[in-house]
Every structure is written in structure tokens, then in C-alpha cells.
Chains A and B, each alone.
Chain A
């Protein structure tokens, strides 16, 4: 693994189903983030983590949960998907939770029908 990866690349999901988007980084970054990207709305922060074992809510956390069991992995779970969660999801990481560059993963395109 080089950098930050996400899986799956894309997914079509029936409403009401549970889904986990995976994110892994090998840069030993402490801070990790989940964003959703919707046309005309830019990138909106869902949840973040400043170090393993801690998480926090972003701008649009409802309907999503995260965990940070170790430094490398930061999965995002939709407990019961709804059509409004159709979006492109980006995971990102940075060395620390401070004012510096965030490195983004390739994204997951999720469609909820």
C-alpha cells in the first residue's frame, strides 16, 4: 500500500442496508477524516479522528458512524442507508489534526436506491 486507499471503488446499495466503507493509510498519519462530496456543496466533513482511539463529529454526522481501532484504518459505516446518502465519499489523512495538508484517498461512489 502506498498512501491512502479506499474500498470499494463504487457500490450500489438498497435502502435500509448496512454498509461499511473502508479506508487505510500507510503514512502513519495521526489524523483521519471522512468527507462526502455532492455537486454544488463541495466537501463536507462527516467524522474525523485526531488519533487512534478517538473520533469526533463533523458538519454532517447523522446516519454515519466511525471507529479508529488503530492508526492505519478508519472505516465509515452507514447503519441503514437512505437515498440522500448517495454521494462520493473521500477519506483523507494528515500528520496531525492541525493546519496542514490533507491527503485524500481515491474516493468511493455510493448509490443508494
Chain B
């Protein structure tokens, strides 16, 4: 079956450092890769997404890179701040091409002041 693997499961960084979370997917036809952030006790919210016609997308301190050949994509957060502490989920399309998403297992990011 198809799968989205996300690593690491937990990540602790010092404020100001960078954080990188990586996801791999199995369906080579996938062409949409969103990242969601979930703060403690809150709902997941989209923070950035990338489509397969681009290799990188940036939005202020966050960026996503995509390597379709290797079938992996990564979330990069620079100059981390305590408010970046949250659980981050990647996702990739289900192979049925119905608009459904398969989510990764999540990464708990802790930014230490």
C-alpha cells in the first residue's frame, strides 16, 4: 500500500537554529505536498504547500523543497522561535487521484528559548 514516512518523530532545537523535517512518499505520480502545523490542543492548519512543477517554495522563515526523483520533500524552518513549537504533519496525495491525502506520522518540534 502507499505510505508517507516522516522523520524525525521528535526534534528539539535552540531558538534561532534551523529545523528540518523530511517526508518520503511512495506514489511517483503524486504532485501536491502540503505541510500542516498543529499547536498543542488546537486544530491542524496549513502552513505551506508545494506542487510538483516547482522544486522549492518559500514563505518568510519557512520553505519546502521537493525532490521528485528521490520521492521526498522537506520542511525547513529558519531562525526558529518558541512559537514554532508544535506538531508538524506532511501529506501526499492518495494514488486514487481522488483528492484524498495521506498524512505522515507527525514531528513534534520543540524550540528551546
Contact = CB atoms under 8 A, between A and B. Distances in A.
Interface of A: 31, 33, 35, 40-45, 48, 50, 56, 58-59, 90, 94, 96-99, 101-102, 104-107
B44 A90 contact: yes
Contacts of A90: 43-44
| Chain B interface residue bracket vs A | 20 to 34
25 contacts: A33-B100, A40-B9, A40-B105, A42-B89, A42-B104, A42-B105, A42-B106, A43-B89, A43-B103, A45-B102, A48-B100, A50-B98, A56-B98, A59-B102, A94-B99, A97-B98, A97-B100, A98-B99, A99-B31, A99-B51, A102-B46, A104-B43, A104-B44, A105-B43, A106-B42
Contacts of A42: 6, 89, 103-106
Interface of B: 6, 9, 31-32, 34, 42-46, 49, 51, 89, 93, 98-106
